[in-house]
Structure 1
Amino acid sequence: MTDTTSQQDDIAVEFNTAEPAAWSPATWFAVLSMAATSFALVSAEFLPAGLLTPMARDLGISEGTAGQVVTATASIGAVTALLSNVLIGRLNRKTVLVGLSALAIGSNILAALATDFWFLLLGRAGLGIALSGFWALSVAVVARLVGANATGRGMAVVTLGVSLATIAAPSVGALITDWLGWRPAMAMTAGLAALAMLLQVLSLPTLPASTGNSLADVFRLTGRRGVQLGMLAILLLMTGHFAGSVYVRPFLENVTLLQTWPIAMALLGFGIASVIGNIAGGRVADLNIRMALAITAALMAFAALALVLWGVHIGAAFGFVTLWGFAFGMAPVVLPTNLSRGASDALEAAGSLMVVSFQVAISIGAVLGGYIVDHYGAVGPLTLTSALAASTVALALTQPRN
């Protein structure tokens, strides 16, 4: 990656299927700093899942109330996603990313030192801002670092941090909490953010913004058919995933009749497969984004439906949970890359719409999944996952070819 390329803004990025140039060591260092940032931020986001009980006990609140720290992070992220690229104006994007990491450090320290629930929420709100700002900028920054025709590969490296954090944060957080308490566990996420910030300072090239974004610019993109299809794909596939994936454990308990240890192994298989899917998603997305989306959705649809049909058998349950994990690993790479193809001249504004779409999908999926499992049992949410993923396949095939 040349210095000239790294300093270009995302005014006009042309996507093509030409073979991407080999990355220089400097480019690898910069992309890995973005991956480290995603790992640090997502680790902090999912950490409460492993320490809710001691945190609730220490603050004198219920576990249900303590669980709202995750909701606060997501809610603030959804609200600020639309505004993040507007508020940063013409600031150098490297400065913004370093600043977001600094905000994550302060937020995690505040949460670790919180003496009551409201201070804890304040710290988590700051983390939500850092998360939404980082992801809103991620595709645009990666495209400038590696080139437009390697965006999928670059995002695969960045989102690898997400897959690793999703696997590690709850379990490692629980272990550290047992050894040292929940506050040191929370403080360690500040250390991860500090390391990520140091890597950003050392590795990212200067990333000047030649233009600022307005809220009107962001909303104007929603009039483009490519952006509409990209947002709809996120809403369909991620609503389906989050409606069903939360209830995979109840399904394995009530339908496959597994005990705790085999369930943990099945979920570990899901996590490992998601890492592999993440890498595969980057390769396929750069070759043919339309086909990449269709494959991702088809694999998820088949895995969920196969669990409903044959999940009573232990071997089938393990296999199809793993396949679901592979498809989910592809999704965080394929879906943003797919949306960006409809807004190659406005990647930062498209990033805001991408973050909002993900957050809305998570919220809708949680509501629908909860309602369906209460009324129809553990099989119901998985059926919805299959139906919405199958709809995404149909949507992918209606998109223009590369």
Structure 2
Amino acid sequence: MVGVVLLFGGQNMFITYLRPFLEAVARFATDGVALALLIFGVANFLGTALAPALLARSIRWTLAGAALVEAAALTLLWAAGGDSQIAAVASVAVWGFAAGSVGVGWSSWLAKAYPDHAEAGGGILVAAIQGSMMLGAMLGGGLIDAVGATGPLVAAVTILLVGAVHTALVLRTHRSALAPVGIHEGPIPEAVRD
């Protein structure tokens, strides 16, 4: 669950404060912020919709790759700063697309890793996600107050990079959980047949 906390905490450390960054650093007007958030949402939807195809190939690399792509997109957003609003919107879109696979990925991993404990594991997963979102937003708020609009972004990039490495290393030890999504080995349990 450490990977869950790192990936969701890293995402939410900055998403909560994307608007202040876009206004203060990238110099977006209100309409531009609204458009960037809409593009993030559409890209996130597309990332979620396309995630099963990636997860069927590798849960581990989909999750680790998503965190790396998110970190790269946020780094580009930081580098673009106020120089290019087009680059900023493109970065936000790529970030949203990559973030879309994270929730689906962890849910798929849980179902494969603990098929006999999916309900209990699902409860723990939801608690870990919600707790990490709260913690990420809280720490991001502290950073925005302490160092400004770029603070949460830099911290999010760092946490996402750590999360990518952690996820790649830890899920590697759970090979049975990395089988393609949708493939069931052995007889189908009676509860599932109905």
Residue 77 of structure 2, aligned match among 294, 301, 307: 307
Cα-to-partner distance string for 1:157-189 (whole Å, 9 max, x where unaligned):
xxxxxxxxxxxxxxxxxxxxxxxxxxxxxxxxx
Partner of 1:233: 3
Task: Tell me whether 1:260 sits opposite 2:30 in the alignment.
Answer: yes
Give yes or no for contact 1:293–1:338 (8 Å, CA) kept in 2: no
Partner of 2:59: 289
Task: Tell me whether 1:355 sits opposite 2:126 in the alignment.
Answer: yes
Q: RCO greater where, 1 or 2, for CA within 8 Å and sep 6 or more? A: 2
Counterpart secondary structure, 1:243: helix
Residue 319 of structure 1, aligned match among 81, 85, 90: 90
The alpha-carbon deviation at position 232 of structure 1 amounts to 1.1
Equivalences, count: 172
Counterpart secondary structure, 1:365: helix
The alpha-carbon deviation at position 390 of structure 1 amounts to 0.7
Give yes or no for contact 2:10–2:136 (8 Å, CA) kept in 1: yes
Give yes or no for contact 1:241–1:385 (8 Å, CA) kept in 2: yes
Counterparts of 2:118 and 2:156 in 1: how far apart (Å)?
29
Residue 106 of structure 2, aligned match among 335, 338, 342: 335
Q: Which amino acid aligns with 1:316?
A: A
Whose radius of gyration is greater, 1 or 2? 1
The alpha-carbon deviation at position 287 of structure 1 amounts to 2.0
Give yes or no for contact 2:110–2:118 (8 Å, CA) kept in 1: no
Counterparts of 1:273 and 1:335 in 2: how far apart (Å)?
19
The alpha-carbon deviation at position 369 of structure 1 amounts to 0.7
Q: How does 1:199-238 map to 2 (within 5 A)?
A: 231-238=1-8
Counterparts of 2:134 and 2:33 in 1: how far apart (Å)?
25
The alpha-carbon deviation at position 329 of structure 1 amounts to 1.3
Q: Give the TM-score taking structure 2 as reference length.
A: 0.84
Cα-to-partner distance string for 1:118-175 (whole Å, 9 max, x where unaligned):
xxxxxxxxxxxxxxxxxxxxxxxxxxxxxxxxxxxxxxxxxxxxxxxxxxxxxxxxxx
Comparing 282-291 with 369-378, greater Cα deviation is found at 282-291
Q: Which amino acid aligns with 2:92?
A: V
Counterparts of 1:315 and 1:295 in 2: how far apart (Å)?
24
Partner of 2:117: 346
Counterparts of 2:131 and 2:32 in 1: how far apart (Å)?
32
Partner of 1:397: 168
Counterpart secondary structure, 2:116: coil
Counterpart secondary structure, 2:115: coil
Give yes or no for contact 1:277–1:329 (8 Å, CA) kept in 2: yes
Comparing 392-401 with 314-323, greater Cα deviation is found at 392-401
The alpha-carbon deviation at position 301 of structure 1 amounts to 0.9
Q: How does 1:67-146 map to 2 (within 5 A)?
A: none
Counterparts of 2:115 and 2:147 in 1: how far apart (Å)?
43
Q: Which amino acid aligns with 2:56?
A: D
Counterpart secondary structure, 1:355: helix
Q: Which amino acid aligns with 1:325?
A: G
Give yes or no for contact 2:14–2:153 (8 Å, CA) kept in 1: yes
Give yes or no for contact 1:233–1:335 (8 Å, CA) kept in 2: no
Partner of 1:298: 68
Counterpart secondary structure, 1:378: coil
Counterparts of 1:274 and 1:306 in 2: how far apart (Å)?
18
Segments of 5+ residues of structure 2 without an aligned counterpart are 179-194
Counterparts of 2:127 and 2:111 in 1: how far apart (Å)?
14
Counterparts of 2:165 and 2:53 in 1: how far apart (Å)?
22
Counterpart secondary structure, 1:334: helix
